[in-house]
Amino acid sequence: MSDELNLTPWTGPWAADDPDAVFKAEVADYNRLDPLHTLRGLSEHTGIPVGGLARYVLARFATTGSGGLLELGPAMVERLRAPVRRAEEAGTDEARLAAYRELAGMLSWLAVPLDQPDVYPG
């Protein structure tokens, strides 16, 4: 397998009902930028080759989701996904609002140690 990568800008198109439309819009927005400008400057400053920096950035981004899963744990991820699934199955604004409130409650509960420095000094 080749490590060669072509950084071809992509700005679409995608269908309005595409389930990945939000992600694709974000990809298109970021594709307006030239990441090599930043990587070249960082390379000059650190002495790390542009390819090594690009590999680092890609690997770090690509593993972020896995790191989050490890921190939360699969059971908690499923608990957080459940209200969204129920709301999308119902397909109503009321169900989505209820899911938002349920998720807000769960996140508030998860954040308690962060909000109490004496409990969680980190």
DSSP 16-63: TT-TTHHHHHHHHHHTTS-HHHHHHHHHHHH---HHHHHHHHHHHHHH
pTM score, whole prediction: 0.59
Q: Using one digit for the tens of pLDDT, what is the confidence trace for 9-67?
A: 999 999 999 999 999 999 999 999 999 999 999 999 999 999 999 999 999 888 887 88
Neighbours of 39 (CB within 10 A): 19
Q: By percentage, how much of the chain surpasses pLDDT 90? A: 66
Judged by DSSP in three states, 118 sits in coil
Q: Give the span between the Cα atoms of 79 and 109, in whole angstroms.
A: 13
Torsion sign (Cα): 109, 113, 66, 36: positive
